[in-house]
Structure 1
Amino acid sequence: MDEVLQERLSEIIEWLPDGVYVADGQGFTLLVNSAYEALSGTHRQNLIGKHMAELIETGYINQSVTLLILESRQPMSLIQTLKSGKEVIVTGNPVFDKSGNIRFIVTSVRDITSLNHVTAELEKVRGLSALNKHQYHFNVNGNGTSVIMESRHMKAIVEKVKQIALYPTSVLLSGPSGVGKEVIANLIHELSARSQKPFVKVNCAAIPEALLESELFGYEPGSFTGARREGKVGLFELADGGTILLDEIGEMPLSIQVKLLRVLQDLEIFRVGGVKSRKVDIRVISATNQDLRALVEQRKFREDLYYRLQVVEFHIPPLSERPEDVDALIDYYFHFYCTRYRIEKRLREDTRTVLCQYNWPGNVRELKNLMENLIVSVPSLVIDPDHLPFHVQSKPSQHRVLTIKQQLEKYERRIVAETLNNYSSIRKAAEVLGLDHSTLVKKLKRWDISTESRFRR
Structure 2
Amino acid sequence: MSKLLDTIDMEKLHEGILDVLSDGIYVSDASGKTLKVNKMYEQLTGLKREEIIGKFVTDLRNQGSFDVVLNPEIVSTGQKKSSVQVTKEGRRVILNGYPVFDESGKVALVVTFVRDVTLLCQLKDQIANQQEVIDKFREVQHRDKKMQKSTVVYESQEMVKLINLLDKVAKTDATVLLLGETGAGKDVLCRLIHEHSQRKNEPFFKVDCSTIPESLIESELFGYESGAFSGANTKGKPGLFEMADKGTLFLDEIGELPLLMQSKLLRALQDQELIRVGSTKVRKFDVRFIAATNKDLEEEVKHGRFRSDLYYRLRVAVLQIPPLRERRGDILPLIRFFSEKYNAKYRKEVTYTNEVCKTFENYKWPGNVREMDNFIQSLIVTCEQETLDVSDLPHYMLRDAFNMDQSATMIDNNKTLDELMSDYEKNLIKKALDAHGSVAKVAKLLKVDRTTIFRKAKKYSLL
Asked whether 1:141 is paired with 2:141, we answer: no
Residues 324 and 330, structure 2, Cα contact 8 Å, conserved in 1: yes
- Number of equivalences: 275
Q: How does 1:63-74 map to 2 (within 5 A)?
A: none
1:230 to 225, 235, 242: 235
2:364 maps to what in 1?
359
Residues 251 and 289, structure 2, Cα contact 8 Å, conserved in 1: yes
2:320 maps to what in 1?
315
Deviations 1:204-234 (A, max 9, x none): 0000101111111011111111111111110
Asked whether 1:284 is paired with 2:322, we answer: no
Residues 140 and 190, structure 1, Cα contact 8 Å, conserved in 2: no
Asked whether 1:212 is paired with 2:221, we answer: no
For the residue of structure 1 that corresponds to 2:152, the secondary structure is strand
CA shift in 2, pair 1:375/1:303, >3 Å? same
AA paired with 1:249?
I
1:298 to 298, 303, 306: 303
2:194 to 189, 196, 202: 189
1:383 to 367, 383, 388: 388
1:202 to 204, 207, 211: 207
CA shift in 2, pair 1:243/1:410, >3 Å? closer
Report the alpha carbon displacement of residue 363 of structure 1 after superposing the two structures with TM.
0.4
For the residue of structure 2 that corresponds to 1:148, the secondary structure is coil
Structure 2 Cα separation of the partners of residues 279 and 207 of structure 1: 24
Report the alpha carbon displacement of residue 327 of structure 1 after superposing the two structures with TM.
1.3
Q: Which has the higher helix share?
A: 2
- Aligned Cα root-mean-square deviation (Å): 2.1
Deviations 1:225-275 (A, max 9, x none): 111111111011110010000000000001001110111111011111110
Report the alpha carbon displacement of residue 319 of structure 1 after superposing the two structures with TM.
0.7
CA shift in 2, pair 1:403/1:318, >3 Å? closer
Deviations 1:77-129 (A, max 9, x none): xxxxxxxxxxxxxxxxxxxxxxxxxxxxxxxxxxxxxxxxxxxxxxxxxxxxx
Structure 1 Cα separation of the partners of residues 172 and 305 of structure 2: 30
CA shift in 2, pair 1:220/1:328, >3 Å? same
For the residue of structure 2 that corresponds to 1:394, the secondary structure is helix
1:250 maps to what in 2?
255
Structure 2 Cα separation of the partners of residues 226 and 401 of structure 1: 67
CA shift in 2, pair 1:357/1:407, >3 Å? closer
Identity fraction in percent: 45
Residues 172 and 286, structure 1, Cα contact 8 Å, conserved in 2: yes
Asked whether 1:261 is paired with 2:272, we answer: no
Which has the bigger relative contact order, CA under 8 A and spacing at least 6? 1
Query: What TM-score does the superposition give when structure 1 sets the normalisation length?
Result: 0.58
More displaced, 162-171 or 307-316? Answer: 162-171
Structure 1: unaligned runs, 5 residues or longer: 1-138, 414-457
Structure 1 Cα separation of the partners of residues 230 and 207 of structure 2: 24
Residues 390 and 435, structure 2, Cα contact 8 Å, conserved in 1: no
CA shift in 2, pair 1:277/1:343, >3 Å? same
Residues 216 and 236, structure 1, Cα contact 8 Å, conserved in 2: yes
AA paired with 2:154?
M
Report the alpha carbon displacement of residue 164 of structure 1 after superposing the two structures with TM.
1.8
Structure 2 Cα separation of the partners of residues 347 and 248 of structure 1: 36
For the residue of structure 1 that corresponds to 2:358, the secondary structure is helix
1:447 maps to what in 2?
none
Q: How does 1:66-145 map to 2 (within 5 A)?
A: 140-144=144-148, 145=150
2:185 maps to what in 1?
180
Residues 333 and 371, structure 1, Cα contact 8 Å, conserved in 2: yes
Report the alpha carbon displacement of residue 160 of structure 1 after superposing the two structures with TM.
1.4
Residues 177 and 362, structure 1, Cα contact 8 Å, conserved in 2: yes
Structure 1 Cα separation of the partners of residues 393 and 434 of structure 2: 16
1:22 maps to what in 2?
none
2:60 maps to what in 1?
none
Structure 2 Cα separation of the partners of residues 328 and 210 of structure 1: 43
1:347 maps to what in 2?
352
Structure 2 Cα separation of the partners of residues 362 and 400 of structure 1: 29
Report the alpha carbon displacement of residue 403 of structure 1 after superposing the two structures with TM.
9.6
Structure 2 Cα separation of the partners of residues 363 and 403 of structure 1: 26
AA paired with 2:234?
R
Structure 2 Cα separation of the partners of residues 406 and 228 of structure 1: 63
2:158 maps to what in 1?
153
1:240 maps to what in 2?
245
Residues 374 and 383, structure 1, Cα contact 8 Å, conserved in 2: no
For the residue of structure 1 that corresponds to 2:210, the secondary structure is coil
Deviations 1:268-320 (A, max 9, x none): 11111110110000000000000011111111111111111110000001111
For the residue of structure 2 that corresponds to 1:146, the secondary structure is coil
CA shift in 2, pair 1:348/1:403, >3 Å? closer
For the residue of structure 2 that corresponds to 1:269, the secondary structure is strand
For the residue of structure 2 that corresponds to 1:351, the secondary structure is helix
Query: What TM-score does the superposition give when structure 2 sets the normalisation length?
Result: 0.57
2:106 maps to what in 1?
none
Report the alpha carbon displacement of residue 400 of structure 1 after superposing the two structures with TM.
3.8
Report the alpha carbon displacement of residue 166 of structure 1 after superposing the two structures with TM.
2.0
Structure 1 Cα separation of the partners of residues 358 and 431 of structure 2: 20
Residues 339 and 376, structure 2, Cα contact 8 Å, conserved in 1: yes
For the residue of structure 1 that corresponds to 2:181, the secondary structure is coil
Report the alpha carbon displacement of residue 151 of structure 1 after superposing the two structures with TM.
1.1
Deviations 1:25-56 (A, max 9, x none): xxxxxxxxxxxxxxxxxxxxxxxxxxxxxxxx
CA shift in 2, pair 1:401/1:204, >3 Å? farther
